[in-house]
Amino acid sequence: MTKKTLPKYVYSDRGYVRFIRKTRGQSVMMHEEPGTLEFWDHYNRLLKGREPLPTKRNFETLILSYFESDAFQKLKPRTKSDYRKYIEHIRTIWGPMDPAKIEPHHVYKLHQANADRWRQANYLVQVLVVLMNHARLIGFLKKEHGNPAKGIPLFKQESEGWEPWPDDVRAEFEAVATPRALLVYELCIGTGQRIGDVLKIRWSDIKGGAYGFTQGKTNKALEVPLTDRLKAHLASIEKKGLTVITDAQGRPVSYRTIAEEMRKVKAAMQHQDAQKYVTHGLRKNATIELYLAGCDDEMVQAVTGHSGVEMLKKYGGMTRQKELAKRAQEARNRMEQNKPRT
């Protein structure tokens, strides 16, 4: 067998052939007969930088298969990173196990074992649901097995989630914040968006007094008019780079950099509870302000991009309920007043 008869990167080696691609650090012995379907399948996987999946039915194989699936590949980078973290935990504890042998009580025990971190425990179960769905798709679970992670009761959060910033905290922050921290604050309040989307805002995204973008988490396209207050603040900002929020050299900044800066500002404040309020809580402030301004659910969603009423209930809290109830009762009063009298 000569090199001329072998495809690129494949060389003869002791009766077999070896795939060698130094730029990727690959050197893999191929035991398949060159020219066979098995050989070309292995070769094409190696060209993509992947080894063939092992055939043993366990969580190791399931996880590798899921990582190669279209469902995983289409996830947002942040979601992929989160999934990998939790799936690695699953691999550590259940790697050699057959997924078909996992029952609801196993998942329940795993969930309870992480009760001290309820948010992470819930996410772990949610990732397991996705992983076990994939197990059914590739034949690791039969239909009658169902999904053992579905139906596990999740821990309820003790509060309504991220708390909105009270007026006194907001007033002090506005007075003492660094220029960049104040810019982040104004953008979060003015647009009602997540900090991840705020950090990506480019000057070119703002046209005709509106911010046009696609939300990173939901992949939802939005165009949100800027408030007068935000317009005035942006007019005072020097354009140093492509993004609105930059470092001293005009380069985009990371979430970690901004989070640390916001923490330092709050740590230096006089308000004893200042550090309790996180940047994401400003999204709740924006939601509440919209309800106080008389907006209905659909109008609020048009600005914030919330995916459904349940999330609006969470972010709007009692303010949403009170404002909607107030408008409902006012409508009843008007109806009563317009009734014909006898």
Query: d(Cα 166, Cα 273) in Å, to the nearest integer?
Result: 10
For residue 124, what pLDDT is reported?
94
For residue 38, what pLDDT is reported?
78
Angle between helices 167-176 and 179-191 (to 10 degrees): 140
CB atoms within 10 A of CB 332: 10
For residue 157, what pLDDT is reported?
63
Task: State which residues of the chain have pLDDT below 50.
Answer: 160
* Contact status, residue 226 vs residue 185, Cβ threshold 8 Å: no
Q: Which of 76, 108, 106, 79 lies closest to 94 in space, CA to CA? A: 106
For residue 249, what pLDDT is reported?
94
For residue 252, what pLDDT is reported?
94
For residue 3, what pLDDT is reported?
60
Q: Where are the alpha helices (DSSP H) in the chain?
A: 37-47, 59-68, 70-73, 77-94, 104-113, 118-137, 167-176, 179-191, 195-199, 228-235, 255-267, 281-292, 297-304, 309-337
For residue 35, what pLDDT is reported?
83
Dihedral sign of CA atoms 42, 47, 48, 49 in order: positive
Angle between helices 281-292 and 309-337 (to 10 degrees): 10
* Contact status, residue 12 vs residue 6, Cβ threshold 8 Å: yes
For residue 193, what pLDDT is reported?
94
282-312 tens-digit pLDDT: 999 999 999 999 888 899 999 999 888 888 8
